[in-house]
Chains A and B, each alone.
Chain A
Amino acid sequence: MQRTPPRLLIDRAISALLFAIMVSGAVRTSLIGPLQPSWRLRRPAGNAAGLSIWPLRYSRDPFPNDLVMFLESVERETPRRAKIALLVPEPWNHPEYAYALFRFRYLLAGHSLAFPPEPSADIFSEVDYVACWHPPVAPPSDLPLVFSGHDGVLLRGRR
């Protein structure tokens, strides 16, 4: 029986090792995360600079799901190109926080948005709708209600 040269054996051992490292290095911990039992869900792992913190979508994204669902309902209830004033509490009224401005624009794409710092009579007469989600101050009671749900109300503006 022909013997394998030691050099070839070493080459193959290194190749096998590199292959194992390559495959294990490519599998992200965030990919394994969903397969883990639920009691491990809050455990962060991996490189903090990147995607490998699990569960990233829950731990890093502070945008409340209720707010998303409320805005989706607003989109369904309003016609395209309608002008909508958004009344949301701190810190959501700061566009920089959790990219709130871009989230609102994405969820209500095709609409014109206004972000009044405070509710005023002027703003209610300039918009078609007023979307309030945990508003810092109560909106005027004379505005007709379109719908309520997900901790928010959609009112018809005076425009």
Chain B
Amino acid sequence: LTVSEDEMKAIAREIRGQVVQMSHVKKTPHLGSSLSCVDIVVAVYWGVLRIDPQNPWDPGRDRFILSKGHAATTLYAALARRGYYDPAVLETYNQDGGHLAEHPCLRCVPGVEASTGSLGHGLPLALGMALAQRIRCAGGETPGLAKTVSSQAGTFPPSATQYRCFVLMSDGECEEGAVWEAALFAAAQKIDDVAVIIDYNKWQATGRSDEVMALGPLVDKWRAFGWSARELDGHDIGALLAALEKLPDGSGKPLAIVAHTVKGKGVSFMEDDNNWHYRTPTADELQAARKELGLA
């Protein structure tokens, strides 16, 4: 799949429109958090991941974990747009008896890699996935012992390709202790095929993320934990692609991208206004948002 940056920008506008609409129709919160990470999700799904939406559970696929599960609408809309399932399914979002809840559940639709919503879980999962690959690659470690059971059981199949794991976290999520347990372990084990992207929109549910906790300087913290860390504009798709195109990056370290973003990005009256963590748009606001996004 080769998609130009301009096309990705257009896709990002479409997804933003979809996300605002889902929040309006189903009256669900976390709109600001969903909008701030759209460009990251688009860059990853259209320009970075080695995936095949027609074969969503290929053991050799790259994994993307939406650790900030409250941005579920962005993931759902992106997966549908990327061809994992019929976009009509999006209409069942948050419906009684439906599959698409306000936080994603493993395999609720093709492409959802983990059940998330409680923060600080995605990175340890990704490290486990990375170690599973390392263990598989170390096969034949036991002299004189045949590799028997897995081939019979068929549950741990060999894969032709090496997969990578990408984890999208929120800045507030970096306050969870489990994140830093995982950061310490990943560096010790030199797990260089895992990347963390932090949607640093400077807000958490009820306050500025740098004020509620001493989060900054965030990139320095990751670097001090032994990661290859850099910061960039999380709405610059070109910059995201350049930062993520090479993983492992050759440093022998895991990669942390601190992506500076704006909460509510793309809709002027939502941008950097934390009321949109919980507020849902009216019909008029939906219309205004669609107009700004060039969709109406």
Q: Do the two shown chains form a genuine complex with each other?
A: no
B residues near A, CB below 8 A?
A: none
A residues near B, CB below 8 A?
A: none
